[in-house]
């Protein structure tokens, strides 16, 4: 095999499509990554049941330091799963219902072909 043929045969694998992931797949991966830690799942569950909480209330319900909870909130907020509204010196967090609906739709569509 010539060097050119070897190089071109390494670029693709047999039977695999070379198309990019769909927008839905990218969205699902992003949201799933944000929920990829049990503490973040617990935070989202707490916010869903309580409606809204300030960071201190979330910390009280978890066996984690305040700084750790703040990092988890930052990840969830960055993914758009929660929103935070400044209320004086505190931040009040709540779940973004559109993001929850989106992840439910995306998970439901996994088996649909």
pLDDT tens digits along 42-52:
999 999 999 98
Phi and psi at 56, nearest 5°, equal: -60, -40
Domain boundaries, the chain: 22-108
pLDDT tens digits along 64-110:
999 999 999 999 999 999 999 998 889 999 999 999 999 999 999 88
In the chain, helix, strand, coil percent, each to 5? 60, 10, 30
Closest CA to 80 of 58, 103, 57: 103
Fold of 22-108: Arc Repressor Mutant, subunit A (1.10.10)
Cβ within 8 Å of residue 20, ≥6 positions away: none
Are 73 and 55 in contact by the 8 Å Cβ rule? The answer is: yes
Closest CA to 41 of 95, 97, 102: 95
């Amino acid at each position: 095999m010539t060097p050119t043929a070897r190089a071109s045969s390494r670029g693709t694998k047999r039977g695999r499509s070379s198309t990019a992931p769909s927008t839905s797949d990218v969205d699902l991966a992003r949201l799933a990554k944000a929920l990829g830690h049990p503490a973040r799942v617990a935070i989202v569950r707490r916010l869903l049941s309580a409606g809204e909480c300030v960071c201190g209330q979330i910390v009280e319900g978890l066996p984690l330091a305040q700084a750790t909870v703040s990092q988890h909130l930052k990840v969830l907020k960055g993914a758009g799963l929660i929103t935070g509204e400044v209320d004086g010196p505190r931040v009040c967090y709540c779940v973004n219902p559109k993001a929850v609906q989106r992840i439910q739709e995306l998970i439901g569509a996994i088996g649909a072909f």
